[in-house]
Structure formats: C-alpha cells, structure tokens
Structure 1
Amino acid sequence: MNIKFCKKALPTADAHVVFTYADRKLTESAKKIDKETDGLVKRAIKVGHFEGKLGQIVELVAPVNLDINRILVVGLGAEAELDAVKAEKVGGKIMAKLISSGDEDISIAVDSAKAAILSDAELAAHIACGARLRRYRFDKYFTKQPESKKPSVIAVSVMTSAATAADKLFDDLDRVADGVEFARDLVTEPGNVVYPESYAEKIKELSELGIDVEVLCEEEMEELGMGALLGVGQGSACESHLVIMHWNGSDKEDEAPVAFIGKGVTFDTGGISLKPGAGMEDMKFDMGGSAAVVGAMTALAGRNAKVNAIGVVGLVENMPSSTAQRPGDVVVSMSGQTIEVINTDAEGRLVLADALWYTQDRFKPKCMIDLATLTGAMMVALGQEYAGIFSNNDELCDHLVNAGQTVDEPVWRMPLNKAYDKLVDSKIADMRNIGGKYAGSITAAQFLQRFVNDVPWVHIDIAGMAWKTEASDVADSGATGYGVRLLDRFVHDNYED
C-alpha cells in the first residue's frame, strides 16, 4: 500500500475521511465538506448516537456535489486527550472500515488540533501508521476468495498543512511497521514452511539492511555444550539452529550492545509429553518471541538506529519420535548446570537457557531482554491484555513499562523470589524444568534467571499477546507482531546515541 502526504484539496479519491472532535465539533476540513455537500455532514451526524467519540464513524455513500464514492466522518474524542496511540487507533479503524469496501484510493484530511498533545505532523503521521498496520492481511494461500473479502485499498493520501514534516516523521514509523509485518508473516506461516532451517534462511535476508547474520548448526552447538537447546530438537528430522544478528549502528564501535533473545520453537507438539490434539495447529506460533526479536532488529536497521544491538534466536522443532527427549532425562546446559527434564512440553526455557548463557558470555551486553510464548499460566494471570515481565533490574522494568505505554504494547511486572526459586530444585540435578502446580510463569522465570548471572535482564512472557482470535484497532485477528514496537521504542528512548 502506498502512503503519501500532501496539501489539502477537495477530494478526488474513492473515499474521503474528515474528522470531528467530541460533542460533534467539526474540523475545518469537515466544515468544508459539509458546505460542498449542502449540509450533509451535519445532518448525518445528528442521526443516531454519533457524538464524536474516539473511533465513532458515520458513513455517507454517494454524497451530492462530489465525484467520490463515500465520505467517512470519524470521531477523534476530546481534543486535549488525542495522543499518538489514539491517533493510530483512529487510523486503524478507518482502514478496518474501508479495507474491503471496493475503494482503492483513500484521502484523509487532517487538521490542526490546537489543544492536542500532538503537532499537526505527528497527528498525520500516526494516523497513517495506524492505517498501515491495520491494512496487513496474510492471504497468500487463498486460491479462491470472494471479491467482497479481498483487500481493495492500495493508496492513502493524508492531507495536512505539515506534509513535509509528517512525511519525515512517518519514515521511521514505516520502517518499524516493516518489522511488525515481517514478524506477523513469520508467526503466521505454517510449520511446514517455517522450520529451523528455512527460518534461518529468511533471517539471512536481513543482510540487505546491513545486519550481519551468523547461523550456528548442531555440530557447532554441540561443541559449545548447548545440551539444553539441542535436547529439545533431537526428536525432529529438522536440524536445530542458533541465529545471531548483529546491528552496529552506534558511532562508538566498541559500545557494548543491548541484546534481545527469542524463543523460536517453530512447531511445538509438546514432544513425548504430547499436547492435546485440539488446537495443536496453533503451535506454529510458539516462535512468536523469536519473531519479535527478528522484527525488532529489522526495525532498528531499517530506521538506521544509532545503537549496537544483538539479536539471538534459538530455532528448534519439538517433536515426538524414537529419538525424542524423554521425561526424566538429564541434560547439561552450556553453563555446565544440569537440568532434569520433567516435562518435555516445558521446552522453551531449555532453548532460552543456552541462548541466554551464550549471549551474556560472548557479547557482554549492557542488558538482555528475552521474549517467549512461554507459559499458559501467563494467560491465566493476565489474559490477553498485558505481557508479563520478570526482572533482576528495576530500571529496566521502568523503561519497558514506559515504552509499552507509548506504543500500546503494555507489560505488567510479576515477582521473582527465592521462595519460588526453590520450586525448580531437582533431587538428582541442579534444577528441573518445571516448578509444580502453582506459579507456573514465575517458576519459569526463576529457571531462566539461573542463566543470566549479574547481567541486567528482563524476561517477557508474551503467551497471551503474540496471537489473538479477535482483531484489534491496529491488527487483524491472528499474529499481532507484539514486541517489535515495544523493543524499538525501548531502544529509541534509552540507548541510542
């Protein structure tokens, strides 16, 4: 979809969008359209319960005196409360309304908001960003689809008096959206398309953005002693991989990097501890944490972020077979610590254990943040409204909370405590990979903490956020790309030169 910013003019696109604020207060562009259509806008918004609340929409089809298909009158809510998140939601709602309307070209008239938090350019750029994020569809495998369901919108023109400034601001938002869409694609692809080897090949394509990509094969990981990660994948015919992405954007070449680590279980059957058959097809998204890392690295490189960053993803497939890991097996992690595998479906923490140790040992990062669709218990605790975060560093948590609020990818801090740590002690090894009946998300985090040493670290459990059955304002149902914008904003606000 092509998005451009231009000066205000009478609409010539298939569909034209104007705005009102709370209490039906028309913007200047809305007033002009109302005049051109002999008062149609004012008459329409008096019908029904339209009050100009955020996201409310009135549709006017075949308006008089204008050679266009439709006008949308969209509410922006209270002028003084209109921030970037709300602007993006409005852009998303506009796209959701028009995406399959049959209209190809949309124009959106954005006016100055004197009392708003945002500048004219910021308002226009964030509305455009929301529209782009909501336009995403994964439809590559449809061979027969009704025209009424196909996305029709191919161009959006955002009309604003600050077109040049808005275009400049949008450029970075657009590059971040590239990362979100890449993550969504990766998560949505089926397991026979995205498996460890093919996934690694897709990541290699990031070299076009200036990212250096390394891929470790099983033989190399065996030499490093990554018994925890390799144990997860030993039941699969697909070879496991560890992929390392280097982005060196800081002017200080020797500056320690920030590091992101992702769980990349490309398909999770549960292994010998087999999952129930119903719903198992969704386990293709058990690599959502790794997709967030790959998407974030894409975003950082795309907008040429002035930071040194490392992305590390452990790519495995967890399958039951005659060679699969058994409940009761003991594996030796790269750290030298031994792990009793009580449940082979608690595999993500085994992958992350070696990936975390490798990252802190080799790169000596300023901080490490890992992301994983790790525990169903996280969804029991927080539903699909927040990701849970666990950390050994208060400042890092504060930075992530702030970043999440800024881009509407919220996180909620959960506890770590020695009392919980005891629950992962084993009777025959240094630890076991599950902690028992209670506090499942916390004991998983306690397990991971044993592999970070004193490096400032945050674990983000995104089990409830990577995939949603209901659409949001800026994402269709399915893969959300959660974590990409969170990590990008975290870096932007705290670590760039």
Structure 2
Amino acid sequence: MTTPIALRFAETDLDAIATATGRVAVFVGPNAKLGPSARRVNRLTKGAVARYVESEAFEKAKEGTAHVLSWPAGMAADAVDVVKLSRRPSQADARKAGAALAKVLGKGGALIAADGHKAAADIAFGVAMRAYAFDTYKTGDKTAPGEVTMMATNPEALAAEAGPMAAVAEGVFFTRDLVSEPANILTTDDFAARLAAMQELGLEVEILEEADLEKLGMRTLLAVGQGSESPSKVVVMQWNGGGDEAPFALVGKGVVFDTGGISIKPAGGMEDMTMDMGGAGVVSGVMRTLALRKAKANVVGLVGLVENMPDGKAQRPGDVVTSMKGDTVEVINTDAEGRLVLADVLWYAQERFKPTGMIDLATLTGAIIIGLGHEMAGVFSNDDDLCNAFLKAAAAEGEGAWRMPLSPAYDELIKSQIADIKNTGGRGAGSITAAQFLQRFVKEDCPWIHLDIAGVASVKSETALAPKGATGWGVMALDRLIRDRYEG
C-alpha cells in the first residue's frame, strides 16, 4: 500500500520558524490580519509578508490558494507559502488550502504554522490527501515528500480531531492503490489476499471460491469469468461495532480486467480497464476506514471479483444463464458484464444478511459519462430517504453525485424474447437500463442505491484532493453516511 505522508503535530514554537528547512507555511485571512506565526515570518523577511497581503494580488487571490515567497532572506527555508484562508473557512476551502501546500512539497518537508486555526484538522487532511502518489513501478528517483510538521496551540486536541480523518485518508489510499494496480499484479487471487490481510485490523473476512459460488447458484457471476485463467471469487468483509441489529450492506463490482469478453472492446483505451474494479475498490476502502477508526456501526462489504476475457470457454452473445435468484438472463453483449456480477452478489447479500439498506458501486456504463461527465457519479435509488441521506453526505464531503431516474417504462428496453430479461437495452438510456436490470435483483423491502462511478473512479486531470488517476471517490461520502445514519 502507498505509504501515507509523514505528518506530525507539535506545539507552536515561533523561534523554530527561522531555522526550519524545506518550506514554511503561514495563513492570513481575507482581512489581511497577520497571526503570530505570520508576524514572525514577516519580521524575519523584513516585511515581505505584509507587502504581499497589502497587494492587489492578495486581494484577488481565492480562498485556499497559496503564494510562494522563494528563498526568503533571514530564514533557512527554501520558500514561504502564504495561504489565504479565513479563520473559520468552509471545509472545502480548508482542505483545498492543505492540498495547495501538498502540491509543492519537496523532499525537504515543511513546517505548517497553523497556530490556533479552527480548521487545522481539515488543512492536515487536505495535505495528506493531495500528497498521495502511486509510483510503485517507477524505477527512477522517487520524489516522496519529506516530513510535515503542523504547529498548533493545542497539538494533542488537533491530533485527536485529525485521527478519524487519517483513517478516511488511508481508506481512500487503499482504494486508489487498488484502482491503479495493473491487472497482471492485481489478479482476483491477489485482490482477495489483500482483503484477507485486513483481518489484522479486526475485520472478519471470508473468501468464497468457485466451488462455493457454484453451490450457491451464482451462475451469472461465474459466466463472466469462465473465459479467464483467474478464478472468480466473492469476498465478504464484516465489521460489527454496532450490536446485534442487521447490517448495512455495501456491494462492489470487481472486474480486475475487462476486454469485453467475446464482444471485445476497441483497442483504444482498453488499458484503462484495469480500473473496472473501482466499485470493489471503494467498498474495500470504506471497510478499511471503518476498521481503522473503530466505527460503532454494523456494516458488511461484499465484492465480486472476476476477469472478463475472450477464450474458447468464454460466454457468448446469445447465451442464457440463470441467476442465483432464479431469473434467466439472455446475454446480448458480453461487455455488459458488471451487472451480471452484481446481480448475484446483491441477491446473496440480501439472502444471507437481511440488510437494513444496501448500496452497490460499479464502474458500470460509459453512458453515465456521456450524461454527467467526470464531475458526478450517477445515483439511482428505490428509497428517497436513503438517497437523500447519501446525497447530503456526498455534498458535505465534496464528492459530486446526481440522482438519475428509475421507471418501469425502461423495463421494456430490457425484455427478452427467450429469457426473463436481457443484459442490455442498447445505447438509449444505457445507464438507466443498467440500473433497472440491477433493481430486479433487489427485494422490494430493501432500501437500495446504485452508484455508477464510471466517470469519477479514475480521471485524466487532477481534482481538488487527488492527482490525476484514481480518485478514491466514494470513500469519504460513504463513511460520512455511515457516521451520520448508522452509528450508535
């Protein structure tokens, strides 16, 4: 797993500012009033900070952005970062400020003078989130940032407040690592082994092998992976810090590589299909976070791990397979495989655990990218209360999500002439018909959300808290939902 940035908290020591190496960061509110650390830096640099904050450049700067004073006279540091940030900023601006500092971190590390800033924990979270880099397979000189020390008036209280956030960050990193790994490394066996290792954190982890899945009747899931040398699996992770009531369930699609099967994908962009296990990655990251922060909730996470490959044994367009539920499915397109995986795992989750609610995540359709781009995940739900609670949590954490429609009218598009249902309804409303397909495997009394994360799991440009590539989208929102709704 990617090593988190070394971040420690210390009591404010104004005398340490002059001798600190690497970078020194101070915060100034929009009113241009300098706090204790900013005043000390200003004196050391003979008024350079004051000249900047009195300038038009500072006035025009947005909250959460940093201005660099390079090679400041009177200090040992290579640079001073002057961050414009209110004393009581929004969570988004505070995390943005931390991310701005992380982007310029070097091997020399940094001293961040937070003084008594009210949002210091969120600033630290922003630093940690943006300092992530997946460079496992780079053989050259790696530019891992040095240690970051955050000075505060009450470092013990800050460390206590930042602790749960650090657990969230580690869950996000775990997800990003999984999504970033190449398919020759992250096989279904390797994926399952990484999840089994989380038993050390207190999770109960169970791996269902192909023989187990055959006995359970998970034939739609098994059909997807029958053309691959990698064995299909379902991994069940249980965290119970909340008593005897039924758990809340998270279900993830884990297609470690997807060529489209016999309905083979175009070659252009196929290398990106290493991220087609993004839903399973998010579920895994959330479960890691819950264990690390000892959440007082009862949550079960299930992931279906398969590989979709062309082979003489692979399923064909026109095949009919029978799901665990008993419904028959005509396979129109073997590239619409994620919903076949989820169908069986969703049904199994309900049959075994009788959950109080259930959310599935999948990099399911290109159609959701056409509709929402890379800013929002598609949200489909049969329950307004659960859906609104999730949307509130996602908004609070700055993770874009937009509710999409469900309607029986769309079921007409996935009717089959020879089976109960077919696995795709064509290009029109592609993300909606995929959700309608999944809803068939959700019991009427189970509150449910389907999250189509195809556009947000991995992106080509950096986001507020992540470099380009895997984002870990969903870990923060789902952890917030569980904290707000399911913890006792």
| TM tier relative to shorter chain | over 0.9
User: Does residue 1:462 correspond to 2:475, yes or no?
Assistant: no
- Counterparts in 2 of 1:313-324, with a 5 A limit? 313-324=303-314
Letter in 2 for 1:70: A
Q: Structure 1: how far apart are the matches of 2:412 and 2:460?
A: 36
- Counterparts in 2 of 1:382-461, with a 5 A limit? 382-454=372-444, 455-461=446-452
Which residue of 2 is the match for residue 482 of structure 1? 473
Contact 1:93–1:474, Cα closer than 8 Å, also in 2 = no
SS of match in other structure, 1:438: coil
User: Does residue 1:201 correspond to 2:193, yes or no?
Assistant: yes
Cα drift, residue 47 of structure 1: 5.6
**TM-score normalised to structure 1 length:** 0.94
Which residue of 2 is the match for residue 8 of structure 1? 12
Contact 2:66–2:97, Cα closer than 8 Å, also in 1 = no
Among 84, 99, 108, which residue is 1:92 paired with?
Answer: 99
Which residue of 2 is the match for residue 304 of structure 1? 294
RMSD: 1.4
Contact 2:28–2:38, Cα closer than 8 Å, also in 1 = yes
Q: Structure 1: how far apart are the matches of 2:150 and 2:225?
A: 49
Among 202, 214, 238, which residue is 1:222 paired with?
Answer: 214
Q: Structure 1: how far apart are the matches of 2:346 and 2:386?
A: 17
Q: Structure 1: how far apart are the matches of 2:456 and 2:35?
A: 36
**TM-score normalised to structure 2 length:** 0.95
Contact 2:12–2:115, Cα closer than 8 Å, also in 1 = no
Q: Structure 1: how far apart are the matches of 2:291 and 2:371?
A: 35
Contact 2:364–2:453, Cα closer than 8 Å, also in 1 = yes
Contact 1:36–1:65, Cα closer than 8 Å, also in 2 = yes
Cα drift, residue 46 of structure 1: 5.0
Q: Structure 2: how far apart are the matches of 1:428 and 1:266?
A: 31
- Counterparts in 2 of 1:175-214, with a 5 A limit? 175-214=167-206
Q: Structure 1: how far apart are the matches of 2:36 and 2:189?
A: 55
CA 1:34/1:189 → structure 2, altered by over 3 Å: closer, same or farther? same
Letter in 2 for 1:287: M
Q: Structure 1: how far apart are the matches of 2:452 and 2:327?
A: 23
SS of match in other structure, 1:139: coil
Which residue of 2 is the match for residue 124 of structure 1? 120
User: Does residue 1:21 correspond to 2:11, yes or no?
Assistant: no
Cα drift, residue 56 of structure 1: 2.6
SS of match in other structure, 2:257: strand
Deviations 1:382-436 (A, max 9, x none): 1111111100000111111111011111211111001112211111111000012
Contact 1:45–1:58, Cα closer than 8 Å, also in 2 = no
SS of match in other structure, 2:175: helix
Cα drift, residue 362 of structure 1: 0.6
Of the structure 1 ranges 425-434 and 17-26, higher mean CA displacement relative to structure 2 is found in 17-26
Cα drift, residue 62 of structure 1: 2.0
User: Does residue 1:139 correspond to 2:143, yes or no?
Assistant: no
Consecutive unaligned residues in structure 1, runs of 5 or more: 114-119
Deviations 1:151-208 (A, max 9, x none): 3422111112232211001111111111111111111010000111111111100100
SS of match in other structure, 1:140: coil
Among 463, 483, 486, which residue is 1:492 paired with?
Answer: 483
Contact 1:50–1:56, Cα closer than 8 Å, also in 2 = no
Cα drift, residue 483 of structure 1: 1.2
Contact 1:369–1:459, Cα closer than 8 Å, also in 2 = yes
Q: Structure 2: how far apart are the matches of 1:398 and 1:163?
A: 36
Q: How many residues align?
A: 478
Letter in 2 for 1:97: V
Cα drift, residue 26 of structure 1: 3.3
User: Does residue 1:245 correspond to 2:237, yes or no?
Assistant: yes
Of the structure 1 ranges 51-60 and 226-235, higher mean CA displacement relative to structure 2 is found in 51-60
Which residue of 2 is the match for residue 117 of structure 1? none
Letter in 2 for 1:334: M
Identity of aligned residues (%): 49
Contact 1:467–1:478, Cα closer than 8 Å, also in 2 = yes
Which residue of 2 is the match for residue 57 of structure 1? 66
Which residue of 2 is the match for residue 268 of structure 1? 258
Q: Structure 2: how far apart are the matches of 1:329 and 1:426?
A: 12
Contact 1:191–1:266, Cα closer than 8 Å, also in 2 = yes
Of the structure 1 ranges 405-414 and 393-402, higher mean CA displacement relative to structure 2 is found in 405-414
Q: Structure 1: how far apart are the matches of 2:64 and 2:38?
A: 16
Deviations 1:329-381 (A, max 9, x none): 00000000000000000000000000000000110000010000000110111
